[in-house]
Structure 1
Amino acid sequence: MSSSLNNETPKTPTQKQRTKCEVWTRVMGYHRPVSQFNKGKKSEFYSRVYYKEEHPSTAFMKKYASTHKPAAVCLK
């Protein structure tokens, strides 16, 4: 039988079975694990806002590539 029919919940791994994932970041030119930050630095790290900046030509191409129609070519 499937677990949905029995109303059983899937088993989750115990804390010992889980793999720890270490998060690193660059601070002042050095790479450091976030776990070694002090309380204030951790607070600052988790409140950071990340954004992706595109190259200016990429934004131009997205804006004008779909509206551009190639000129007709006349062959003699």
Structure 2
Amino acid sequence: MENKEPELKEEERQKCEIWTRIMGYFRPLSVFNPGKKSEFRERRYFSEEKALTPAEKDAASRAKEPSPSDKP
């Protein structure tokens, strides 16, 4: 089976609005002033999973497992 890229005519396209959470509420990026747009582009994202040490990952996985006393 061929993996083909979908083809759309320009009039079939729809603008994709990007929303982000700033100061406790969500706002569309299109209403940001130039300074806030620049800050948004400079943001760095991280994965909590990648940030944990092996010991922290082990402790987190043990915390998710039900204890024997929790089973009926």
What is the identity percentage for the equivalent residue pairs of Structure 1 and Structure 2? 50
From 49, 53, 63, the counterpart of 2:48: 53
- CA distance 1:17–1:48, shift in 2 (3 Å): same
Secondary structure at the aligned position of 2:13 is classed as coil
- The equivalent of 1:33 in structure 2 is 28
Between Structure 1 and Structure 2, the one with more helix by share is: 2
Q: What is the alpha-carbon root mean square deviation over aligned residues?
A: 2.6
Secondary structure at the aligned position of 2:48 is classed as coil
- The equivalent of 2:18 in structure 1 is 23
Q: Which runs of 5+ in 1 are unaligned?
A: 1-11, 62-76
Tell me how far 1:21 sits from its aligned partner.
0.6
**Is the counterpart of residue 43 in structure 1 residue 38 in structure 2?**
yes
Question: Equivalents in 1 of 2:30, 2:56: separation in Å?
Answer: 37
